[in-house]
Amino acid sequence: MRRLRNVKIVATLGPSSSDYESIKALFVAGADVFRLNMSHGSHDEHRERHAIIRRIEAEFERPIAILADLQGPKLRVGTFADGPVDLEVGDAFRFDLDPTPGDAKRACLPHPEIFAALESGSELLVNDGKIRLTVDECGKDFANCTVTVGGAISDRKGVNVPDVVLPLAALSEKDRKDLEFACEMGVDWLALSFVQRAEDVLDARNLAKGRAAVLSKIEKPSAVRSFDEILAVSDGIMVARGDLGVELPVQAVPPIQKQLIRKCRAAAKPVIVATQMLESMIESPMPTRAEVSDVAAAIYEGTDAVMLSAESAAGQFPVEAVETMDKVAISVESDPTYREVIEASRYAKRETVADGIVAAAREIAETTDISAICAYTQSGKTVVLTARERPRVPIIALSQLESTLRRITLTWGVHAVRCGELTRFKECVVNAARAARDYGFADETQQIVVTAGVPFNTQGTTNILRVAPCDERLIYSTDPE
């Protein structure tokens, strides 16, 4: 099965998409990566969905990436004695550690780490920022505040603290259990929620022990400020615009999104744009024009993937949502302006032999009659470097390692194909030519570019580039070795 676009689609699974038929329908419609949201559902439910995805993968003989999204620390207020309380602008309100149910004057905030980090003038946001309070006075177990944006506050609403770095681990005890479960089950990516600093990512990497790649969700101002350090220790990034738009002015999110995408591309690390992309399709079979423009903007910016959350997990039209994203992507990528934008933002720094090889492959493919770039890889690094170039021709990734192929399925423009262990470069060329023909990227009259490394089956050795015919008779006649 070949996609007619380069950008990838991530679909979240949930009540609307939990059985074989519905998950298969999402894959056929265009989903390349499936997200398991560890905030919802039991381990048994996630294990069942994981097994279904692997069954579909075997049926279609196409690697599918599975991303387990960890919940992260949830900060919530306590309960209220007499139900919701209306707070008005100018009201005084106190948060403390007293577990007694709250009232119109105070409420429990059972997170001492918040009080430890607060200062006079800090802001507290409740219920996705619908209620805002400014701290007037605080101590190790209380914060006296003034309401600046009023509303109804009720039991266990979420709390955001945008302007401080909380002394709080990104991995809760639940996250650590979920991480181990997901790695043992065999997911390909772990998404780490509420990252604040690079150390949060290193903690998750130490627990994952290479069993899954680690993707950092950028959803806090502190993560934006520390982004370069976070990117350096992450395998990928998710621009999680939901909480980011709560903790930052909404008008700041679009330029931040653009900046983060460019930095990820320069680092050759995949980036997902997520949250509320087709929100109206939870209840409507058609998106709004603004939502379509939002998806298109992310694609024009060069993102590797766009993600559906509730639209595919709990919405009434999950398949239609994937189909819509697929159509938007195909339309954008066929626009000549798309190539102009992508090529104008191409990262030009070259530091390694592999950098030079993939840049040359892209240059040759664009200046001669080449149908595809076929890249052999062990770790996936050569493939993501090739994708950073955003070539005009398809990228066929070949590897004997199923785990590598699954992970790089998230990467822009990549069609992953499994091959056997190779001992000679001629075998590489023959296998690449067969893959290009079998998957409809070329016919016997056309040529491909092949990149590989010697010694074979070793990470970090990309040092060969060859332009080769797709006709095996010509390969054997021109390459006796």
Average pLDDT over residues 72-79: 91
Helix then strand then coil, in percent of the chain rounded to 5, is 40, 25, 35
pLDDT of res. 475: 78
Alpha carbon distance 369, 349 (integer Å)? 26
pTM as predicted: 0.93
Q: Which two tokens stand for residue 422?
A: 């190779």
Same fold, 85-160 and 353-478: no
Query: 450 with 465: CB under 8 angstroms?
Result: yes
Q: How confident is the model at residue 24 (pLDDT cuts 50, 70, 90)?
A: very high
Report the candidate in 61, 69, 70 with the shortest Cα–Cα distance to residue 405: 61
Say what percent of the chain tops pLDDT 90: 85
Return the HEC string of 409-427. Answer: CCCCCEEEEECCCCCCHHH
Residue 464 in tokens: 């060969």
- Whole-angstrom distance, CA of residue 223 vs CA of residue 225: 5
Q: What is the mean pLDDT of residues 375-397?
A: 95
Confidence check: pLDDT of 249 > 60 = yes
Q: Is 90 exposed, middle or buried (0-12, 13-18, 19+ CB in 10 A)?
A: exposed
The 10s digit of each residue's pLDDT in 422-466 is 778 888 899 999 999 999 999 999 999 999 887 777 777 788 899
Residue 479 pLDDT level (bands cut at 50, 70, 90): low
3-state secondary structure 103-127: CCCEEECCCHHHHHHCCCCCEEEEC
Report whether 472 contacts 401 (CB < 8 A). no
Cα-based distances in Å from 458 to 237, 376, 455: 26, 11, 6
Instruction: Catalogue the active-site residues.
Output: 35, 76, 217, 275
Is 393 in a helix, a strand, or coil? coil
Domain ranges of the chain: 8-73+169-332, 85-160, 353-478
Q: Retrieve residue 289's tokens.
A: 């024009």
d(CA 422, CA 461): 14
Q: Is pLDDT at 481 greater than 80 in this prediction?
A: no
- The DSSP symbol for 338 reads H
Q: Which fold has domain 85-160?
A: M1 Pyruvate Kinase; Domain 3 (2.40.33)
Classify domain 8-73+169-332 by CATH number: 3.20.20.60
By the 8 A CB rule, do 99 and 163 touch?
A: no
| Sequence-distant (≥ 6) Cβ neighbours of residue 157 within 8 angstroms | 76, 77, 126, 127, 131
pLDDT in tens, 106-160: 999 999 999 999 999 999 999 989 999 999 999 999 999 999 999 999 999 999 9
| Helices 253-266 and 289-300, packing angle to 10 deg | 30
- Residues 375 and 354: their CA atoms lie apart, in Å, by 11
Question: How confident is the model at residue 455, as a pLDDT?
Answer: 75
DSSP 76: B
Instruction: Give tens-digit pLDDT for 300-354.
Output: 999 999 999 999 999 999 999 999 999 999 999 999 999 999 999 887 677 888 8
Domain 353-478: state its class: alpha beta
Question: Cα separations (Å) of 70 from 43, 135, 181, 353, 434?
Answer: 12, 30, 11, 37, 40
Query: Using CA atoms in the order 180, 183, 185, 186, what is the torsion angle rounded to 10 degrees?
Result: 180
